[in-house]
Structure 1
Amino acid sequence: MLNLIFPRPGRIFARFAAGFVIAALGIAGTDLRAEPTPVRIGLDAEFGLDRSTSAQAIELGLRTAIGEINRAGGVLGGRPLELVTRDHRSIPARGIRNVEEFARMPDLVAVFGGRFSPVVIEELPTLKATKTLFLAVWSSADGIVDNGMTPNYVYRLSLRDSLAMPKLLGTARKRGLPRVGLLLTNTSWGRSNLAAAEKFTDRNKDVKIVQTAWYNWRDQTLVAQYQALRNAGAQAIVLVANDDEAAVLVREVAALPEAQRIPILSHWGVTGGEFTAQAGPALRQVDFSVIQTFSFFKANRAQLARFMANLALVSPIRRIEDIHGPVGVAHAYDLMHILAKAINLAGSTDRKKVRDAMEKVREHRGLVKNYVPAFTPARHEALGVNELLIARYRADGVLVPTGE
């Protein structure tokens, strides 16, 4: 009698299923492979603040750089960068909550900050406690980087007040206006600038601060403070303000008799919002200048062409005249590229390793400058006096360098 031995049905099915999976994998090739996990970058800024354009400028610079980096293969051998944004509306408590949320996100290596120094100052204890790498591309208060952290998790590619005040006061002196009045916002940013101004005049006795006047955020008039400074003998006003209050001042000064209008040299907060629209025709009646660290009109041609080509892939902007908040765009673009190099040097998304690697990026040829290097263990500031310039608004509202 012939004995026929058949495998159990379960074994037949298992073998069939295994063969099917193997065949399917062979046919599909790489289609069934998991997509690389993104490396996340945070942006904590003032998106919801009325008439502000600074957060949008920073985001534009970041998205331009991120698109460029991702098209070149991403970081860490093929992982794409992903931008995650949060709105603090210029309110420190919201910023602190945003930082706490970012700190809990897996594979988030760093947080970029917005325009407002007072928000960042209040966030510093949370950044320290969570060991969150923070990159400042607009806020300028000295204490943001000079924060006492060891190690320091804050890096800045931006202006700092101890550079801004000497430039503004020195420009007044060169114009033959050595008697200056300070008109400052009553915040940590304003106090940072007062300290920088007093330090400068202590060393430069030919420039005199005749008086300091203060105003509060959202004040609806500043003309009384302006007149007090002028009556104290000020030949020029050095203004520390954002777009709203600066526009109020410009409209009020333009309404004065021409003999009472003295030049205004402004910090750069005014460039982070709809200043020219708010000031209106009055701006053409006032001698108004503003400090900058960068102008697309002075950019290296090759770097500018590269930037504009990548900008066109994420934005409808085709002319440099249409770029709002140019310093925010350019700073964010350059610092994102430097961060990507640091991530690759670290070989990891571990924030401590990336923090350390930020000090080891030896060179980056950027839009603002050639960084050789951007940062060192002793210096977490990427920009210096050589990048400072003075600009004015043209009749069409475009900010252009004066050559000063």
Structure 2
Amino acid sequence: MLRRHLLIAGAALLAAGTAIAPSVTPAQAQESVKVGELFSYARMAAFADPYRKGWQLAVEEINASGGVLGGKTLEIVSRDDGGTTADAVRVADELVTNEGVEFLFGTFFSNVGLAVGDYAKQRRVLFIAAEPLTDALTMAQGNRYTFRMRPNTYMQTKMLVEAGRESGAKTWAIVAPNYEYGQSAAANFKALLAEMDPEAEVVVEQYPALGKIDAGATTQAILGANPDGIFNATFAGDQAKLVREGQLRGLFEGRTVLSLLTGEPEYLAPMGAETPEGWIVTGYPWDQIDTPAHLAFVEAYQAKYDDFPRLASLLGYSIPYVIKEMLDKAGSTDTEAMVDALKGLEVETPTGPVTMRAIDHQATMGAWVGRLTVEDGQGKMVDWYYADGADFAHTPEAVKAVRPAE
């Protein structure tokens, strides 16, 4: 497919925004491996820009050190997926059919990731999901051609539930965005809470539309139920509104709060002095992690961009190295060979070694768990630790119970 599409006219390639310049000849282009990348760049700019910087840095490093498959250049053709399932499937098909990419990676929203995963299954094209968190991507709707890099909602929710085990909270509220990610997170919380403490119960649930939270009404509904604890899966602007309104009305006083993603710099930094004290969160305390691999990543990122990395930067940076190891192990861009190479593949990343589990195609990348505080007017994670994803992934029995056979 790559060779066929290299014959497209240079002007047409330029108009489509592909990474190959008009002056590149077919012979030269054959020296590269084209990979399609799609992400909700316009809708999720705060996450998308650091993510793109991360993978761009990694691709530059890989190409400077010899490339892939014995010297070929790793070439990324990047597109905005529009943030909707229909747009994402259309973009994925354009990348595969018109641009001739060998495989796909990326996406942000869980519903979009599921749609592209289904496209990968139907077209038998490899897809490595970056950000989508819903369990369904690698569980109930998993397939041979779809893999995921980031720890899913089950893994991160389990990390939080275990971290809050000693809180003593018996009654709980849930607030989560009303789409695939939020629904998955809520379902996991209820199941894990029942396992941890059969006497605990969820007494109120709030599911605002993504990006349209009525923070006043949500806060009042939770206050009316008077729970001991709150499980929060909102993020970005919705979370900022909830924090502001909740603090104004005393929602968080004397209550345990378990909050997905809130410790990530993308969402923590904008809150500044409004950061809620004491929340137990998953996140990324980038400036406190002193392992050699992570320090090297931070140094390279800051040198190139004069900025600090976000969790998205780390995620974006790690994926091209997974791609490199996969290609070198497969020895070709044959789809079935790449899929087989990914199963059980172990890759060194700034977080340490990460394995792509063969049983469900879920990477063992973990997350940091800690508490929030405010120092010098800025939010900060304290008392944190790294939770290895391998310790929180679904059991083989759970996977076999719901994942379709390949």
Task: Please tell me the TM-score bracket, short chain as reference.
Answer: 0.7 to 0.9
The whole-number CA distance in structure 1 between the counterparts of 2:162 and 2:91 is 39
Alpha-carbon deviation of 1:200?
Answer: 1.1
Relative to the length of structure 2, the TM-score reads 0.78
Within 5 Å, which residues of 2 pair with 1:4-403?
Answer: 34=28, 37-49=31-43, 52-105=45-98, 108-150=101-143, 152-204=144-196, 205-257=198-250, 262-268=255-261, 271=264, 273=266, 276-277=269-270, 279=271, 281-283=273-275, 287-292=278-283, 294-297=284-287, 299=289, 301-312=291-302, 314-317=304-307, 322-324=308-310, 326=311, 328-359=312-343, 361=345, 363-371=346-354, 374-383=355-364, 387-392=367-372, 394-395=374-375, 396-397=377-378, 399-403=380-384
Pick closer, same or farther for the CA change 1:287–1:89 going to 2, 3 Å.
farther
SS of corresponding position for 2:305: coil
Deviations 1:296-346 (A, max 9, x none): 3454532124323442564233xxxx223x2x2222322321211111122
Alpha-carbon deviation of 1:73?
Answer: 0.5
The whole-number CA distance in structure 1 between the counterparts of 2:329 and 2:260 is 36
The whole-number CA distance in structure 2 between the counterparts of 1:257 and 1:35 is 60
**Contact preservation (8 Å) 2:57, 2:317:** yes
**Contact preservation (8 Å) 1:242, 1:270:** no
**Contact preservation (8 Å) 2:273, 2:374:** no
SS of corresponding position for 1:349: coil
**Contact preservation (8 Å) 2:134, 2:181:** yes
The whole-number CA distance in structure 2 between the counterparts of 1:149 and 1:259 is 37
Q: How many residues align?
A: 357
Unaligned runs of 5+ in 1: 1-32
Provide the residue aligned with 1:15 in structure 2.
none
Pick closer, same or farther for the CA change 1:239–1:360 going to 2, 3 Å.
closer
The whole-number CA distance in structure 2 between the counterparts of 1:142 and 1:199 is 13
Relative to the length of structure 1, the TM-score reads 0.78
Unaligned runs of 5+ in 2: 1-26, 386-406
Deviations 1:255-313 (A, max 9, x none): 21478674432211784856643x464335x6444313x54345453212432344256
SS of corresponding position for 1:402: strand
Greater radius of gyration (CA): 1
Alpha-carbon deviation of 1:401?
Answer: 4.2
**Contact preservation (8 Å) 1:183, 1:226:** no
Query: What's the Cα RMSD here?
Result: 2.8
The whole-number CA distance in structure 2 between the counterparts of 1:258 and 1:274 is 20
Identity of aligned residues (%): 19
Alpha-carbon deviation of 1:105?
Answer: 5.0
Amino acid at match of 1:316: D
**Contact preservation (8 Å) 1:331, 1:368:** no
**Contact preservation (8 Å) 2:163, 2:280:** no
Amino acid at match of 1:380: H
The whole-number CA distance in structure 2 between the counterparts of 1:258 and 1:142 is 30
The whole-number CA distance in structure 1 between the counterparts of 2:217 and 2:164 is 22
Pick closer, same or farther for the CA change 1:258–1:80 going to 2, 3 Å.
closer
Alpha-carbon deviation of 1:244?
Answer: 1.0
**Contact preservation (8 Å) 1:299, 1:368:** no
The whole-number CA distance in structure 2 between the counterparts of 1:387 and 1:228 is 31
**Contact preservation (8 Å) 2:263, 2:381:** no
- Which 4+ residue blocks in structure 1 deviate beyond 6 angstroms? none
